[in-house]
Each structure stands twice: as C-alpha cells, then as structure tokens.
Amino acid sequence: MPDHPSSDAKATHAEVELSAVRLQEVAEAAGVSTITVSRCINNPARVSEKTREHVLKIANRMGYIPNRLASSLASARSMVIGVVVPTIANPIHGMVLQGVADILEPAGYQVLLGNSHFSKRSEFELVRTFLGHRVDGILLTGRDHSEECLDLLARSRTPMVEMFDHNPEPPDMAVGSSNFDAGASLGQYLIARGRRYFAYVGHTGLDDSRMIARLQGLTKVCEAAGLAPPRHYEIASDPGTGTGGEVVGTILREVPEIDAVVFAGHQVAVSAIRYSVDVGIAVPQRLAIAGFGDSPIAKWITPSLTTVRFPVRENGIEAGKLMLGRLQGKPCKQRSIRLGFEILGRDSA
Amino acid sequence: MPDHPSSDAKATHAEVELSAVRLQEVAEAAGVSTITVSRCINNPARVSEKTREHVLKIANRMGYIPNRLASSLASARSMVIGVVVPTIANPIHGMVLQGVADILEPAGYQVLLGNSHFSKRSEFELVRTFLGHRVDGILLTGRDHSEECLDLLARSRTPMVEMFDHNPEPPDMAVGSSNFDAGASLGQYLIARGRRYFAYVGHTGLDDSRMIARLQGLTKVCEAAGLAPPRHYEIASDPGTGTGGEVVGTILREVPEIDAVVFAGHQVAVSAIRYSVDVGIAVPQRLAIAGFGDSPIAKWITPSLTTVRFPVRENGIEAGKLMLGRLQGKPCKQRSIRLGFEILGRDSA
DNA sequence: CCCCCTTATGTTAGCGCTGTCCATTTCCGC
DNA sequence: GCGGAAATGGACAGCGCTAACATAAGGGGG
C-alpha cells in the first residue's frame, strides 16, 4: 500500500475507469477553469468565440466524452426520456418508437426503453425505475394506468405523454386516435353495407383498453341502429400470431346468423380470412371480416382485409413533439392531440 | 432572499426537484447511517436482517426512490445497456430487442435505445453518446463498424456484443447466424432444384453488410457449380415496403434466361410474387423466387415464399446472456456464438 | 481470560460535473 | 478620464450516492 492515504480511493477508481478524460484535465490543458470548459459544451453563448474554439479543439484532441451522469446529477437534467410500450416485438409499437426517436434524438435526448407486457404492474415498476434514472420525461402507451403509477408521476412532476389513444382529459398530455370512434366508424361502415349480426374477437390476457374501446364504439352503433350488441369472443393468442382461424368456425357454429366478425387486430383477421377461404366460407358474401390496423399482408391477401388504419408513426412524432415542447418550456397549445384514422374499405367486408 | 448564504444553492435545487426523498432522510428516519440504507438496498447480505427490514419499511413508507445517477456516478456502474439497431421500425429488430430486454430487464438492467439508420457515422455518434451515459455495455447490430467506433469501444473498455451476424473473430463478443452460409445454402437448395441463372436483388443506400454476405455466399455456390455468378440488382426501397415487383419485369426483360431471383428481404420477395402472379409469370415454373427472413405473409401468399428463417429472438436472448455473463464476471465460455438458420422450402422455388 | 476472526455499522472522502455568486476586464457615453 | 453596464471567467459548494477503511461488537479456541 502506498503511503498517500488521501489518494487511495482515487487511485482505485482510476484503475477501474481507465483513461477516462475528465473535464478538469481538459481545463488544465486549455489553461482555463473547469466551468469554462463546461460552458463551452453546454452554454456556448456565455463564452467568447476564441475561448470556445480553443477549448473545443483541445477537448476533441483529448477524446473527451463528458460524463452525463455527473452532469445530470449536478444539473438535474438527464437528457433521457423513458418510454413504456406493451411489447417491442409488435411492429406497431416499433413504428411509434421510431417516430419518438426521430424527434427526440436530434434534440439530444436518448430513449430508455421498457416493455410492460400489457401489465399495469410492470408499467408501474418501469416508471419507478425510470424515475430512479431521473428521466426528464416519460411516454406511456395507452390511457389505462394504475392509480399508484399516475400518483407517482404527479408527485415527481415528471412530464408525461400518453400515446396511441385519445384522451380528452389526460393526467398530463396525450396523443392518439379515438379507439371508440374507430370502432363506431367501422361498425357504421359495415352496417351501411348491410351487416346485421356482429361478433367481436378480442384477446384474452391482454389488459389492453384500446381493444375494449373499439368494442364499445362498435356496440354503440349497433344499439343506435337497433341491432343486437356484438357477441364478444376472445382468443388466447398474441395479436401478432395468426391463429384467428378456428374462432370463425366456432362463431358460425354457435350463432349461424352472424354475418360480420370484427377482430381487434389485423394479423388475426388475416388468418381468419385465410381460414375461411380454406374451409369454403364465402368472404364477404356469407361473412364479412374486418379488423384494426394495417399491414402489407392485409392488403395482399385474397380477399383483402377491410380495416382501420391508424397514423402510427405520427403518434410517436406528435408525442415526441409534445414532450419536447414541454421540456423546452414552450407554452403548450393543447395538452391532448387527437389524431384521426381511416376506414380502408377493401374486399373482405 | 434568506440570510443563509450557505444554503442558497440548496434551496434553489429543492424547489426544482420538489419533495424528492433522499437517502439521508431515510437514514435519519431509521436512525442509522446513510451507508447502511444504501447497503439495505444494494447489498442486503451485508446488513442484519432486523436492520434491513426496519430500514426498508421506512424507505418504502417515505416513497424513497434511489437516485441512480448519483449511485452510478459513485459506483461506476449505471445498470444501463446501450443498444444500437438500424431502425426499430423493422419488426426484425423489434424482436431482437425484445429478446435482449427479456434477459436484461429481469437482471435489473435498462435498455438505452439508438437508431443508426444503417449509417456507420450515426452508429459511432450513438456509441459516443452511450459512453457519455456511462452504459455498462453496448450491443450493436451486425459486424460492420467504423474503425473509430471500435477504437472508442476498446479504449473505453466497455463490453460489446455484435448481434445478428456471425463473426468468428469479434472485437469483443458476437452472436448470430452466418449470412454467407445462409446465402450459400439457399443457393444450393435452388441449384439442387434445377435453377441455373440467378439474380440477386439488394437495396440501395442501405449500408447493410448482411445483405452483401448473403450475395457472396450465393455467388460462391454458383461458381462451385460452374454457373454464372448472380446478376446483381438493387432497388431503392426500404426492405419493409412492398416494391419488389417491378424489378422482376426488368430482370426478365434484360436477361430472359434468368430462372431464379433471390431477394435480400422477405417483404420485397413477397411483393415480387404478388407482381409475378398478377402479370402472368408462372412461379415457380418459369421463375423461382426466394428471400431471406420469414413472416406470416411469406407463408400465406400463393405461392408461398421459399425463404431462410433466422432465429431472431434468440439473437437478442443470446446477446443479452453473453453481456450479462460478462457483467457478472462469469468466465466466458466463448466469445462468439454461432446460431443456425433454416431453409423453408415452400412453393415459390 | 485474551487474542483473533467474523459480522455489523459508521466515518470519510470523493465520483465529475454545474448553479450561484463574485471578480475582473472591456467598452461606451458624457 | 471616469462611472457604470455588459461581457467574460473563476471559486466554491454541493448534486446524492458508494468504495474503502475504521471501528465496534460478538464468539470460540487455546
């Protein structure tokens, strides 16, 4: 052991974090104080051009990478945004995330990602973790959150945007299309084309309020048209997998008068079309099939799928913009942005 | 202004970070030192059970959320892993990421996400940013990185895993299937089924070495079989969009003797099938069509697509495990994990 | 009964950076 | 030439936490 008791700890640390250039080293090399180097990087306007160029050149030459942990700790801004999606394996959320990143990354923010697996409990845990990382903002998917989660968010005063669902009175901010309206519109479209007996197929075990809102919208227009409410079925599969076929058989066996099946997702709807064609159910003559969400396969299958297109990437972009506006202290025009949707009337209904 | 000059800064900070409970407050409330509280959370074994329970109960009641910025700064471990993907909008990378997260999140690590948009320059910038955040490890997609990027990684001694491509001699660690071998295998499959004149369709502007490796593998088996090397075409579209049709027309017009087209992606291959059927090109009789990667639509289109399936999620899982092993200091069995692939011989070739 | 070893907790000194306040310099009009 | 405003740079303290060392307390064998 060396006989420099005061530098022991430092020496040990230096071994761990080998050769990391610190602000102070740059300052010494440039012959200025540390705060000046800091300002050259974070607040260039407060430093003369000459000094700035000189310092930045040296910092660059030394391969200096500012330690954002220290910076964040001292300034209480982390330049990190936490994003919770149900599952990143679903391309939809991938595209939302792409929109988010396309706005946030150029502004210098990084995305900290978490998968809730459609569980409010996991969402809460992720929010807790994100707050531990002192993220500057949090984006959540949907408008259905646990009480304690919202409470935590409110108490921590962390900006939050709900994405991918419409919420006229969000806890903080929100972006998305109305799933209720989408369900209603699709229902109207089908009713206008002569459908009278509906079934709606959701997914068990996915605590997804958007799929429920779609059913509620559909139910409303059924009632308004004096029709029976849609029969509600659930299948135990991921929205991403193609196992929507068998349920069609079940439905027609149990309630033969049903002439339209609306699926909560598009992949399952496509697999239902595939199944129906295979077993000789005429689509759309005998049975209309429709879904929510679009994909190449929905367009290319025969008959092509009548479905609802949501502006997916826009969700992410608008959410990112909303967050950015808040973080930059701009006056917020509106807390809730309502996005539209489009009924893609194709061959299956 | 209050007359406590020494507490001015603190007061201002407190206003910003309203009501954040600190370690010290918990310690005072529990009647122990700060380090004891810290240990209760991070190193429970080093504290008696009685103390731990008592402290954790109080921490919980006070709603204490440890500040990981401070923790990371002091301990030089951030519990964050940086992941770079070309674009998260591509479901493939979404699934890889899901695999990564499924391993890393339960172990207490968070994923910091970055999109390189297939640009090595962006990848480098992201790595720089990640290092600024002092991530504990970095996952990159593919094995094609800029010199300065690898240099930075090596100098910073940050663990790194290359995902989604096979690299027998990685800079640090690697996981993936050999794209060269996949190209070769698909070529052999097609040659065995009587194909003699190949075209390969890649994507312009996507600096994606995996697609090139596939072509090289295909080229090798062509040469080995005494055939002409594949004619190389490129289309200017995302792999995700379905614009592979027109190129088939071009190919057959320019080189009518071509009897097999291999696409670098599956979406474009599917759209090529769709196009061919529409314009009356007999698939596979007149023209074999094959691709890389699988999806429901590849299976369901008529004729269904002959393609190569890669173990996508496994890539993420194995990459996560490799990283975790390194971070936990376990002896590393192998630095490079070779994953397989599967030729899905279907109707289109 | 003392010593050494193990276990439990405390003390100290930072981790690398930035906010605040203050000192100095520069520049201008009168 | 002088007072004062504006521009520029610096000293200091502290963000909230943990590594390392120090100390205290218990426990068993010689």
For residue B252, give the H/E element and its range.
helix B245-254
Q: Which of residues 178-217 of B touch strand D (CB under 7 A)?
A: none
Which residues, including other chains, have CB under 8 Å from residue A75's CB and lie 6 or more apart? Answer: none
> What's the order of all strands across the beta sheet hosting A160-163?
A336-339, A173-177, A160-163, A137-141, A80-85, A110-115, B110-115, B80-85, B137-141, B160-163, B173-177, B336-339
Report, in ranges, which bases of strand C sit under 7 Å from a protein C-beta. 7-22
Nearest to B301 among A73, A91, A300 (CB): A300
Say which CATH topology domain B79-177+312-340 has. Answer: Rossmann fold (3.40.50)
Report the amino acid identity of residue A290: A
Contacts of B76 in chain A (CB under 8 A): 13, 16-17
Per-residue model confidence (pLDDT) at position A176 = 97
Per-residue model confidence (pLDDT) at position B297 = 82
| A-chain residue closest to B76, CA distance | A17
- Residue B16: CB less than 7 A from any atom in strand D: no
B22 close to A (CB below 8 A): no
Q: To the nearest whole percent, how much of chain A has pLDDT over 70?
A: 92
D12 C1': nearest CA residue: B6
Each residue of A57-73: pLDDT tens digit? 999 999 999 999 999 99
What are the distances in angstroms from CA A299 to CA A17, A177, A293, B300?
54, 22, 11, 12
Q: How would residue B282 be classed by pLDDT, with cut points 50, 70 and 90?
A: very high
| B-chain residue closest to A72, CA distance | B69
Per-residue model confidence (pLDDT) at position B58 = 94
Nearest to A67 among B68, B114, B132 (CB): B132
CA distance A229 to chain B (A): 32
Please report the residues numbered 192 through 211 in chain A whose beta carbons come closer than 8 angstroms to any beta carbon of chain B.
Answer: none
| Cβ(A255)–Cβ(A223) below 8 Å | no
Each residue of A29-40: pLDDT tens digit? 999 999 999 999
Nearest to B115 among A98, A134, A242 (CB): A98
Pick the residue with more confidence: A206 or A342? A342
Rounded to whole angstroms, the Cα distance separating A96 from B116 reads 16
What are the distances in angstroms from CA B159 to CA A19, A191, B108?
16, 59, 17
Within this chain, domains B79-177+312-340 and B179-309 share the same CATH topology:
yes
Assigned superfamily of B179-309: Response regulator (3.40.50.2300)
| B-chain residue closest to A297, CA distance | B297
| Cβ(A236)–Cβ(A204) below 8 Å | yes
Contacts of A88 in chain B (CB under 8 A): 88, 94, 97-98, 101
Q: How far is the CA of B329 from the C1' of C5 (A)?
A: 28
Domain limits, chain A: 5-66, 78-178+312-340, 179-309
The answer to whether the Cβ–Cβ distance between B94 and A90 falls below 8 Å is yes
Give A5-66's CATH code, choosing from 1.10.260.40, 1.10.357.10, 1.10.10.10, 3.40.640.10: 1.10.260.40
| Cβ(B195)–Cβ(B228) below 8 Å | no
Please report the residues numbered 170 through 189 in chain B whose beta carbons come closer than 8 angstroms to any beta carbon of chain A.
Answer: none
How many C-beta atoms surround the C-beta of residue A163 within 10 A? 29
Assigned superfamily of A78-178+312-340: Response regulator (3.40.50.2300)
Each residue of A6-25: pLDDT tens digit? 333 333 333 333 458 999 99
Per-residue model confidence (pLDDT) at position B10 = 36
- Residue B35: CB less than 7 A from any atom in strand D: yes
- Work out the average pLDDT over B87-106: 95
Rounded to whole angstroms, the Cα distance separating B322 from B191 reads 37
Beta bridge partners of B235: B203
Q: Is the pLDDT of residue B159 over 50?
A: yes
Q: How would residue B207 be classed by pLDDT, with cut points 50, 70 and 90?
A: low
| Cβ(B159)–Cβ(B167) below 8 Å | no
Of the candidates B209, B177, B210, B173, which has an alpha carbon nearest to the alpha carbon of residue B320?
A: B173
Please report the residues numbered 315 through 344 in chain A whose beta carbons come closer than 8 angstroms to any beta carbon of chain B.
Answer: none
- Residue B328 is given by DSSP the state T
Average pLDDT of chain A? 90
Per-residue model confidence (pLDDT) at position B311 = 97
CA distance B223 to chain A (A): 36
Nearest to B111 among A90, A101, A113 (CB): A113
Each residue of A287-339: pLDDT tens digit? 999 999 998 888 888 899 999 999 999 999 999 999 999 999 888 789 999 99
Per-residue model confidence (pLDDT) at position A6 = 35
Per-residue model confidence (pLDDT) at position A242 = 54
Of the candidates B233, B234, B283, B226, which has an alpha carbon nearest to the alpha carbon of residue B260?
A: B283
| Cβ(B212)–Cβ(B225) below 8 Å | no
- Work out the average pLDDT over A123-136: 97
For residue B2, give the H/E element and its range.
none
The answer to whether the Cβ–Cβ distance between B91 and A93 falls below 8 Å is no
Each residue of B2-56: pLDDT tens digit? 333 333 333 333 333 345 899 999 999 999 999 999 999 998 888 999 999 999 9
What's the alpha-carbon Rg for chain A, to the nearest Å?
Answer: 27
The answer to whether the Cβ–Cβ distance between B242 and A157 falls below 8 Å is no
Each residue of B49-96: pLDDT tens digit? 999 999 999 999 999 999 999 999 999 999 999 999 999 999 999 999
Q: Is the pLDDT of residue A76 over 50?
A: yes
Interchain CB contacts (distance < 8 Å): A and B: 153
| A-chain residue closest to B113, CA distance | A111
Per-residue model confidence (pLDDT) at position B6 = 36
The answer to whether the Cβ–Cβ distance between B67 and A98 falls below 8 Å is no
Per-residue model confidence (pLDDT) at position B241 = 56
Per-residue model confidence (pLDDT) at position B339 = 97
Please report the residues numbered 57 through 96 in chain B whose beta carbons come closer than 8 angstroms to any beta carbon of chain A.
Answer: 63, 65-70, 72-73, 76, 78, 80, 87-91, 93-95
Q: How would residue A267 be classed by pLDDT, with cut points 50, 70 and 90?
A: confident
Each residue of B183-198: pLDDT tens digit? 999 999 999 999 999 9
